[in-house]
Every structure is written in structure tokens, then in C-alpha cells.
Amino acid sequence: MLKTRSHLRTVAKPWTLAMALSAATLTVVLTALPITSHAQRGSLPDFTELVENTGPAVVNIRTTEKVRPAANSAEMNDLLQELQRRFGMPAPNQRRGNPRGGEEEAPQRRGVGSGFILSADGVVMTNAHVVDGADEVLVTLTDKREFKARIVGADRRSDVAVLKIDATGLPTVKIGDVGRLKVGEWVLAIGSPFGFENTVTAGIVSAKSRDTGDLLPLIQTDVAINPGNSGGPLLNMRGEVVGINSQIYSQSGGFMGISFSIPIDEAVRVADQLRNGGKVKRGRMGLLPDDLTKEQAEAIGLGSKAHGALVRNVEAGSAAEKAGIEGGDVITKFDGKSIERAIDLRRIAAATKPGSKVTVQLFRRGAYKDVHVVLGEVDDEEAAKRDAAPEAVSSANALGLSVGEIGESQKRELKLRSGVRVESAEGPAARAGLRAGDLILSVDNVEVSTVKQFQAQLAKADKAKVISMMVRRADAVTIVLVKPGKP
């Protein structure tokens, strides 16, 4: 709701009056003249009515997770044991004694997040990472009622989760149209940053369809989003939810002016599948796409504008191979939709129902060709990672490291909870002693389980200081210190 207030006054011929008045009186007259500033000509938004109407449908989410003791394995070598003794820290697989006798109860990790009510019978939407690994989820309403929630389904790739609480007659949010959202438009977030419930922050839309490497394009805003805001709604000025607050860009863990939200239309599509079947079914072509450079496009006769997804590899027996797609093809359209970059192909294919027969336009040896593809299904986490190339393909960084994922079956075989595999090591990484085949378990004391987590942790590291990595080689674990420098 926008309000305006006019402070303008009319003063007839002020210059005539000034000539007849003393200098002191002149000052008073000029002071009384209207000053029309930009702020007075425009108007500022009033969020009060919006918060009153929508606030009751926003909830606080608290989670608890029992800390499982680590199993005995070769990951704890003599060096780590010595470090723990020196600093008085118990080993991860040790239990402290209870002064009253016996052992203490297993410690618990606690988390806090936000969510919003989709339906009056207690369906709540939040982020998947808010409830990931939780043994208990508690939902608190603005009227202080608290409910134990059941996780209906959670999809890590889109970071969307649906919860259910046993209640009726609850206030609900209104779903907005993301297509109408404009860059520069005012938006509002309600959530529980750092555990402070029902906190309201506001800002503007900074960009739409921002590509961060995730499966879904995100809405970028400058709304203050902090830990605990995750899962809360992003609202437009009509009080409609246009996004789910999901990520922040930060080097300190706090708000730095860049926040990202999942578009609500994509989130609702995922939520509907979670509610109906408990999981999300995604189409899969079985190929590895890459972006096409301008030089490559010109060289193959596609024109000076680089568009399309270059096929780097086709999996044997996949839907793409059965359709006749080959390595080196450039896919320019998928089911009539233009493909500008590799991420477009991955997203559109994933959003298509498995088993669908779609027409794919590709550019091969100077000519366009249409092929028909019957999509397969992403049916496990390993396949999802292969389709999401940025997460699975080795990625070079300033340390001279390229790393790749470790499959879940390999982790079980090696008795690993976390880790990424070193594909190649050069420059600072090589000088520190890292080599291909090493398994990096943690960076600066933070476990890393995926390439994405590894890269995120490196981004947080102080580039002026030595970076510590816990590394497993064969059956031995050691700490490697990598000093950033020239490659």
C-alpha cells in the first residue's frame, strides 16, 4: 500500500515581498518557501498492511539431529590423535563420561529456519536444506502454537521441502505470478534470521533468472537475508509469494547485499510432485552438455552468436544415444524451446516428464537436424550428478586443483562420510604434496562431500593464509597445508 503526503504551499510573488522586508524577515520568508525534493515528489512503500495480512502464515522451523559417533577407521591417524591430545579435544568416536554415572545422552545439532503455510490443513513449504538430516522438526506459528511436523518430501536438487502439521483453519499465503515480477520492484522477506522470529526485511529485485549453477534459475535481491531466513517467503507488494529465500552470497556468513530466492512457480511444481508421490521425477537425456564459445560457433558455421549446448559426451544406452545424438552436436532447441546455454538444456530436460517424446533440434556438420528423444528418468543421486555437469565435472581453481565427486558406493566401500577426489594437482597444490587420486575430506576443518561444497569452502578461505586440508591417501590420513600463490 502506497501513501503520499503533500507539504506544498503557495506563496504569491515572493520576490516582491522580499524587497520590502528586512534581511531578518527575508530569511523567515525564504525558510517558509517549499523545497521540493526527490523524496517528496515520489513515494515510499508502506509494508505494514502487507505484514499484518501475510505474517501469520509465516512459521519458524526448528530442527534437532542426533550426532552419530564416527566409526573407527583409518581416517584417524597418529597425527590427528596427537593434535587432539595437545588441544584437549576428545576424538570424534569417543564419548565423555557422565559425572552421575554411565554415559551422557548423544549430543544434538540444532538448526533454525523459516517456512510458510500453503494450505489451511497444515501443509508447509520450506527449503530442503533446513530439514536435511533432521530427526525432529518443530513448527511454531506466530500465535506461539507449536507442532511436530512430518516431512512429506524433500528434493535436494531444487532445495524444496514440504512438511505437514496436524492442524486446521490455518492462515495461508497467496501465490504470485513470477512472470510479472520486474527488476527494481520492491520485495519483502519474513523469517527467523539468527533465530529472531517474525523478522521483516525489505529491498528490491536485483536480477531475475540468475544462473548460480543450480538446477533452477534464481531471483537475486538485495533484501537482508541471513542464516535462519532460509525457507521463508519472498513477497511482492501485493502480499503474494514470488520466491523462497534460499541462499546468500557471503564471505563472512552474514548478509552482504546479495540474496537468492527460488522462483515460486518452480517451487510449487516440485512441491506438487512431493505431495503426490514423495519424490520428484525428472527427465534425463544421458549426455554431457557444455557452453559454446563464439570462436567455436564461428568455426563450425553456426554464426557469430554463440548459442546452443555443445554435446561433449553421450552415455552408452542412454536416451540421447538411442535418438542418434553424437558427441560434437550442438543442441539449439528442445521441444520447441530455444537453448542458449548448457544450463538451459539441463533445466528444461529435467523439468520434462520421463517417458515424454520430444523433438530436439541440433546442428551437425553445417546443417540443422531434428531428432526425436524419449526421455529417461533421473532415478538416483548419482545420475542426477552426472546430468548436473557443474557439480560433477572437475573444476580448476586458484590452488591448481581439479576435483571430482566420489560415488556413494565408493564412500561406503572406503568407509567415508565425506570427501572429493583429486583429479589433478598443479602449482600450489602440487607443491604442498597433493596428487591425483588423493581424497580431500575437509577444508579448514569443514567436511566437504561434493565438488560444490569444496568450491564454496575454498571461496570462504582467507587467500592470504595457509589452507589446511585433511587428505586420505590409500589407508592413511594426513593434514596438508596449501599456501596460495602463483600457479
All domains of the chain in start order, with CATH: 1-43 (no CATH), 45-90+108-280 (2.40.10.120), 283-383 (2.30.42.10), 394-482 (2.30.42.10)
Asked if pLDDT for residue 391 goes beyond 50, the answer is no
**In the chain, pLDDT over 90 holds for what percent of residues?**
41
Q: What torsion do the CA atoms of 478, 484, 486, 487 make, to the nearest 10 degrees?
A: 40
Average pLDDT, the chain: 79
Average pLDDT over residues 21-25: 41
Q: Is the pLDDT of residue 85 over 60?
A: no
User: Residue 285 has which C-alpha cell?
Assistant: 537425456
Window from 7-11, 235-239, 317-321 with minimum mean pLDDT = 7-11
pTM summary value: 0.63
59 and 115 Cβ atoms separated by less than 8 Å? yes
Q: Is 475 a catalytic residue?
A: no
What is residue 218's three-state secondary structure? Answer: strand
Judged against a pLDDT cut of 50, whether residue 215 lies above it is answered with: yes
Among 121-135, 293-307, 360-374, the range scoring the smallest mean pLDDT is: 293-307
Reported as a pLDDT band with limits 50, 70 and 90, residue 155 is very high
Query: Is 335 an active-site residue?
Result: no
pLDDT digits (tens, 9 = 90+) for 441-479: 888 878 888 888 888 888 887 767 888 888 888 777 787
Instruction: Check residue 426 and report its DSSP letter.
Output: -
E strand spans, 11-135: 58-66, 108-119, 123-126
Name the residue with higher pLDDT: 451 or 240: 240
* Amino acid occupying residue 443: V
Q: Which of 155, 159, 344, 387 is catalytic?
A: 159
Higher per-residue confidence, 199 vs 432? 199
Determine whether 159 is an active site residue. yes
Q: Which long-range contacts (CB under 8 A, 24 or more apart) does 450-459 make?
A: 450/385, 450/391, 450/405, 450/420, 451/391, 451/392, 451/394, 451/395, 451/403, 451/404, 451/405, 451/420, 452/213, 452/390, 452/391, 454/403, 454/420, 455/395, 455/397, 458/397, 458/398, 458/399, 459/251
Are 173 and 57 a contacting pair, CB within 8 Å? Answer: yes
- C-alpha 306/C-alpha 299 separation (Å) is 11
| pLDDT, greater one: 327 or 131 | 131
Catalytic residue among 129, 211, 222, 291: 129
Which residues make beta-bridge pairs with 262? 244
pLDDT of amino acid 482: 87
Query: Beta strands 401-404 and 376-377: pairing type?
Result: unpaired
- Is the predicted pLDDT of residue 317 greater than 80, yes or no? yes
* Burial class of residue 365 (count of CB atoms within 10 Å of its CB; 0-12, 13-18, 19+): exposed
Per-residue pLDDT at 4: 32
Residue found by looking up cell 538411442 in the block? 322
Q: Which residues, listed in sequence order, are joined to residue 309 by a DSSP beta bridge?
A: 291, 331
Tracing cell 576443518 back to the chain, one arrives at 445
Please tell me which residue in 114, 158, 192, 230 is annotated as part of the active site: 230
Most confidently predicted of 64-78, 187-201, 241-255:
187-201
Residue 8 has pLDDT above 50, yes or no: no
For residues 180-207, give the mean pLDDT.
94
Task: Return the SS3 of 361.
Answer: strand
